[in-house]
Amino acid sequence: MLSWALVFLVIALIAAALGFGGIAGASAGIAQVLFFIFAALFVISLIARFVRN
């Protein structure tokens, strides 16, 4: 899932460099959402690991 966030981040950076504002904004938004989902799942997995041990 982190790889998808990085892909959309790269798309957003390329679109921003070329001047496509709408595409850059949408890609950056998707990348941000995917990053926060990944971060939340990471924290949940850390908590679950500490609870098991």
The model's pTM: 0.62
Count of domains observed in the chain? 1
| Gap between the Cα atoms of 7 and 4, Å rounded | 5
pLDDT in the model for residue 33: 87
Which residues form the domain of 26? 2-52
Q: How much is the pLDDT for 2?
A: 66
Residues 1-48: tens digit of each pLDDT: 567 777 877 887 887 787 777 777 888 888 888 888 888 988 898 898
- Contact of 5 with 35, CB cutoff 8 Å: yes
pLDDT at 34: 83
| Distance between CA atoms of residues 34 and 26, nearest Å | 12
Separation of alpha carbons 34 and 2, rounded Å: 7
